[in-house]
A and B are shown apart, each in its own frame.
Chain A
Amino acid sequence: MSDLISTIQRTLEEGADLVLGWTRSATAGVAVPVRFYDSAEAEAAVFDSTCVHNLAVHLPRLKDRTVGIVAKGCDVRSIVELIAEREVARERVKIIAVPCPGVIDVKKVWRCFGYGKKCEDAGGQVAMEGKTAAREEILLAKCRGCRDVTPVIFDQAVGDAESLSAPAPAAEPAGLRERFRAMSPAERRGFWREQFSRCIRCNACREACPMCFCRDVCTMQTRDPHWAGGEIDAAEAQMAQQIRVSHLAGRCTGCEECERACPVGIPLMLLLEEQNEAVAALFGYRAGTDPAARPPLLTFDNNKDSWGER
């Protein structure tokens, strides 16, 4: 950890106003996101599998300052997309890349172990109060098959080049995704109707998303034009999410914070992954991979853009 701490301290010395990172928490299985304002505070910095949050979500509201940020590969994609959209300036962000072995899904910890007090991470196994599980079994789904282990850009790196490109655990079979793809249109309509019947319009999905920075002028809640009603109802909730998903077209970096934040377990990534795949197929674009990229829906290419109108 000393490598991480000294890197954060160096970043502060070199002019950053603060550094976003993590420290230990009392809650088993999850670290605590914190801001380090000086070298003394940085002594408490940690990075391990409990650092699940995407700290890039805080960058838009800090864009008037120079901000250091400890970032996993997936977090860096969000930072890159924010830079590509000119929401944050490249020179105002000091990225500290960390080698990420995958992060723990605390809900899987609860399910495997019950609600324990402390979770011990010992290499390939995780143990809590006498029970063990393979680490792979309690990682977040996105970590398995991760293509972003090596961050796209960074200013400083903790660990060597090798650790920053270690292969991710193999992707697990995606049960729900397979089932969903096999559904007929009518079944899919029913599926979404039931899923969104649980939505309580808390907006955690939007607030946890680094790309949703419209804050109080968000289209999900405008009264004029009134796209989605305010009632907590499946049809309105689905419309509100459709607004969010369509506004993320070509912008979602797949960090999955929206799904992690949802209190009622709606599989939001089913929608966003389908859209991300469509964007890749149509425009050859993957958000957050090139800070100089022009977002695909803000441009066109007449040599390629023809899919035969139906």
Chain B
Amino acid sequence: MSGEVKLVGFLCNWCSYAGADMAGTARMKQPANLRVVRLPCTGRVNPLLVLKAFKSGADGVLVSGCHPGDCHYNEGNYYARRRLELLARMLPVYGIEPERFRYTWVSAAEGARWAQVVAEFTAQVESLGRLDSAAALPEQIFEGRPADE
């Protein structure tokens, strides 16, 4: 499967989205593969959003929120941290390379850091290429069936 990698980002409104805005208004250079979805808080990120994004064609998913301790809603990102770390450990079980998912904390003042995160993450996913689950190798599932050529 060729073409540019498609990335989806779930950003919390108060820190990371503002930080991304700052990067944009300051015209900081960054790859344009990432499409941003704004949420009130990373605590709102249902792990199913990430799984559905991959199923729908995303090659990489990034979640970014306030630094722990600085959550606008006090503790949303504490819950998110547990949920997302567990999700990160489950993605390889489904066959999604761990490098395709990243959760991070970027504050409203860290525009430069945001640009750097986007650049790093894009390069990381590009090195793996497109995620085409349909093209994965078929597995022999009936007993005695000869292997495909």
| Chain A residues within 8 Å of B, Cβ to Cβ | 183, 185-195, 198, 219, 227, 235, 238-239, 242-243, 245-246, 249, 270-271, 274-275, 278-279, 281-283, 296-297, 300, 302, 305-307, 309-310
- The answer to whether A310 and B47 touch across the interface, beta carbons within 8 angstroms, is no
Expressed in whole angstroms, the Cα–Cα distance for A271 and B103 within the complex equals: 22
Residue pair B138, A189 in contact (C-beta under 8 Å): no
- In this complex, the member of A187, A195, A198, A242 whose beta carbon has the largest number of chain B beta carbons within 10 angstroms is A242
Q: Does B78 contact A (CB under 8 A)?
A: yes
Across-interface contacts of A310 in B (CB, < 8 A): 88, 102-104
Give the size range of B's interface with the partner.
35 or more
Q: Is the CB of B105 within 8 A of A282?
A: no
Q: Is A190 a contact of B137 with CB atoms below 8 Å?
A: yes
Question: By CB atoms of chain A within 10 A, which of B75, B97, B133 has the most?
Answer: B133
A282 pairs with B85, CB closer than 8 A? yes
What chain B residues lie within 8 Å of A227 (beta carbons)?
A: 48, 52
Can you report 29 residue pairs joining A to B where beta carbons are below 8 Å apart?
A: A185-B97, A186-B95, A187-B137, A188-B94, A188-B136, A189-B96, A190-B136, A191-B139, A192-B94, A193-B138, A193-B139, A194-B141, A195-B139, A195-B141, A239-B51, A239-B55, A245-B90, A246-B51, A270-B93, A274-B90, A278-B89, A281-B89, A282-B85, A283-B82, A297-B82, A297-B83, A300-B81, A302-B78, A309-B81
Contacts of B88 in A (CB 8 A): 310
- Determine the chain A residues whose CB is within 8 A of the CB of B31 once the complex forms: none
B positions within 8 Å CB-CB of A: 47-48, 51-52, 55, 68, 75, 78-79, 81-83, 85-90, 92-97, 102-105, 133-134, 136-139, 141
Q: Are A189 and B95 in contact (CB under 8 A)?
A: yes
* A246 nearest CB neighbor, chain B only: B47
Does A242 contact B81, Cβ atoms closer than 8 Å?
no
